[in-house]
Structure 1
Amino acid sequence: MNINLQHLYLIAPLHTGGTTQEGNLLGIARESHTNFPYIPSSTIRGKLRSSQSDDALREQLFGNELKDGKPTNHGKPDDNDNAQLTQGDIWIGDGSILWLPIPSLSHGVVWVSCPLLLHRYARLAEKTFKIEEYLCKFKNDKTQIYLKDAIFKGSDLKEWPNWKEAVPGAATQGIDHVLVLPDQHCGTIIQMGLWRQVKIKLDSNKTVDGGFRYEEAIPPDTLMYFPWGLTSQAKNSEASEKALQAMLSKDPILQIGGQESLGRGFVQSFA
């Protein structure tokens, strides 16, 4: 199976709703086995599907849907009693974090990742690069890295001369300080680095109705990616692959996860 990767560089905070809400904190979608934030494949697929105005091509790529209780055919309800829902030619995977920015008193911003996230990306991208803990761009035994809520000794750091191999494409222009943390530490640091927006509810008189609410989001300047490819039952393999590639390259700016009126969820997309 041929797997394609599409990278996402977050221009604004991105929130995709989670399944739980603790107290006044509205959580974000998380992987059940790692607790890392992610973008559900259904969110990405829904966005791409809605952006395709050609009914026939949309159904070719993503399958038909129900309308007025009947499966659609070129966007209209099919009156054929034997009409069924069909599977599209394209599958879309979940969006995963590759590098996430963390404030640093010593280096401004440091992008962090971990072996688990890097191995996952390397497998899908069919790449081979050095992956171990405490690799960084800035090796110096006297240098300590002060992250938002953690300090890492310079004597523990290992120089990573070929770090750009793990930072694909155009993103290397913005990401200039990277650090690979152990999996368990990376999870903690990412949790502390999430964007949290305070919200309040106003009544008709514009006065506060209730208390404050906090909403989590993946911070801007995070580098993510999602895999996609052809389903095993694709009928127009070559045409469908080219069509989705054209969709992704036509408009490199996508809006994912809602709150468009607040400027949330905008990402720069590149292969």
Structure 2
Amino acid sequence: MKHAILTIFTRTPLHVGAGSSVGAIDQPVIRERHTRFPVIPGSSIKGVLRDYAAQQKIDDIERLFGHAPVNKEDKAYAGAMAFGEARLLAFPLRSAKGSFALATCPLVLARYARDRGLAFDIPQVKDGEAFTAEAVRLPSGQSALEEYVFKSAGVFPADWAEHLAGLLDDTVLRQAKAHFVLLPDSDLTYFAEHACQVQHHNRIDNETGTVDEGALFNTETVPSETLFYAPCHSLKSETDDNALFGHFSQSERLVQFGGDGTT
């Protein structure tokens, strides 16, 4: 079995919903229960890529993604590809210098290094401190992210900055090499939960021109310029792995994940 890593860099706010909620947010995004980091389920990734493959008229869609029976005589079978959930790799934050920062933490980097097989060092960060790249570092050495100020713990590791900025051929991500910030785990958890966007929506009655009663609601979205990664696996030993992953790894693709695709 061969595996590969799928990298996702959001260009617009992303809503992969967890369903209705009784909390302050009517339609929250899906999160890991223990870290509160937003995720994209593997089933969502598989569905999106299957739809993309159909649009591109790829011949062996059912071999790649599986076959659902259409009658009693028909037999179902699994596809040759399996998709893990997309985990958070870097989260964008407002910065007093440099407009924005892409924040990560030791826990996120450790999980990514494990899944990718990397041997880069991962520095530990004390509470109230941050390893920062040049573009977001104030003259005092501090960094101001959202409403919080962090003391300098040092420079963001150059090997990690080079690797993360080179994951995709994207202009913003390449420029973000000078915007990375390494925060304590607890701080990234806080920001990933409380610094997402909340958008308000309503539905207009065509006859009255006013809002329908009970039709005002809000939706949580993960900001644009959020970086995710997802492990992908080939499941069948007879499969040509290079041809299998080649359908999706030849170049970057622009695809629609999550809901609210027309807004």
TM score, norm. by length of structure 1: 0.81
Shift of 1:105: 1.5
Give the counterpart of 2:143 among 142, 145, 150.
Answer: 145
Shift of 1:96: 1.1
2:111 aligned with 1:128, yes or no? no
8 Å CA contact retained: 1:65, 1:85 = yes
8 Å CA contact retained: 2:69, 2:75 = no
Shift of 1:131: 1.2
Give the counterpart of 1:213 among 192, 213, 217.
Answer: 217
Shift of 1:36: 0.7
Q: What are the ranges of 5 or more consecutive residues in structure 1 without an aligned counterpart?
A: 71-80, 263-271
2:100 aligned with 1:109, yes or no? yes
Deviation by residue 1:129-165 (Cα, 9 ceiling, x = unmatched): 12122322237882221111211023x4455333324
2:94 aligned with 1:93, yes or no? no
8 Å CA contact retained: 1:63, 1:88 = yes
Shift of 1:247: 3.7
Deviation by residue 1:36-55 (Cα, 9 ceiling, x = unmatched): 10101111100111222358
2:181 aligned with 1:179, yes or no? yes
Shift of 1:214: 1.6
8 Å CA contact retained: 2:103, 2:182 = yes
Relative to structure 1, is the Cα distance of residues 142 and 251 closer, same or farther in structure 2, using a 3 angstrom cutoff?
closer
Q: What are the ranges of 5 or more consecutive residues in structure 2 without an aligned counterpart?
A: none
Deviation by residue 1:85-106 (Cα, 9 ceiling, x = unmatched): 1111111111111111100123
8 Å CA contact retained: 1:63, 1:89 = yes
Cα distance in 2 for residues equivalent to 1:185 and 1:250: 34
Cα distance in 2 for residues equivalent to 1:55 and 1:179: 40
8 Å CA contact retained: 1:15, 1:257 = yes
Q: List aligned pairs for 1:15-34, cutoff 5 A.
A: 15-23=15-23, 25=25, 26-34=27-35
Deviation by residue 1:25-71 (Cα, 9 ceiling, x = unmatched): 2100111221110101111100111222358611101110133x44x
Give the aligned residue type for 2:68: E
8 Å CA contact retained: 2:97, 2:138 = no
Shift of 1:177: 1.1
Give the aligned residue type for 1:136: T
Relative to structure 1, is the Cα distance of residues 48 and 159 closer, same or farther in structure 2, using a 3 angstrom cutoff?
closer
Which residue matches 1:229? 233
Cα distance in 1 for residues equivalent to 2:221 and 2:28: 8
8 Å CA contact retained: 2:106, 2:122 = yes
RMSD: 2.4
Cα distance in 2 for residues equivalent to 1:159 and 1:225: 20
Give the aligned residue type for 1:207: T
TM score, norm. by length of structure 2: 0.84
2:67 aligned with 1:64, yes or no? yes
Which residue matches 1:161? 158
Relative to structure 1, is the Cα distance of residues 140 and 15 closer, same or farther in structure 2, using a 3 angstrom cutoff?
closer
Shift of 1:245: 2.1
Higher share in strand: 1
